[in-house]
Copies of this chain bind each other. A is one copy, B any other.
Amino acid sequence: MESYKQLFNEYIAMYRPYINKLNALLASYNLTTAQWSIMFLIFREGAKTIGDISLYQNVEKPTTTKLVQKLIDLGYVEIHVGNDKRVKIVQLSEEGAKVYGQVREKIDHFQKGLSEGISEEERLVVARVLKEISSKL
């Protein structure tokens, strides 16, 4: 099989097993991957509006609204209105920051385990190539 086909095949083949394991890991915090991914974003990049989150995540705003609503229910994020009273700025709550740290540890451990035996160079090649492909999408 041509190398580009191998690449995309392996890419797709890995997705469901990976997400399932991740969801299993998140389940004890009542989180799903989609919700976690928003927490991760606002941890890394700081407070963000619903619109910004949607852009970063490549989803429509209604999807973000609902995920953020769940995170509010869980007490992991809080919202404040901006100067422009239409926008809602989402950030981690104190509880959310605590949970973030705990989950982050678990995920680190999980991901480290998966990358054992893969050299630093190879990891960087994979990260760079995937980023390069993303940029064309």
Binding site of A, secondary structure by majority: helix, strand, loop or mixed? helix
Report whether B18 and A137 are in contact in the complex, using a CB–CB cutoff of 8 Å: yes
Say yes or no: is A132 at the interface (Cβ < 8 Å to chain B): yes
- Of A68-76, A80-88, A116-124, the one touching chain B: A116-124
Known: A113-B136, A132-B118, A136-B114. A123 touches B7 (CB 8 A): yes
Report whether A120 and B58 are in contact in the complex, using a CB–CB cutoff of 8 Å: no
Copies of this polypeptide in the complex? 2
Residues of B within 8 A of A117 (CB): 132
Report whether B134 and A6 are in contact in the complex, using a CB–CB cutoff of 8 Å: no
Say yes or no: is A3 at the interface (Cβ < 8 Å to chain B): yes
Beyond A14-B130, A18-B137, A21-B137, 8 additional pairs, beta carbon < 8 A: A4-B111, A6-B124, A7-B130, A14-B133, A18-B133, A125-B126, A125-B129, A126-B129
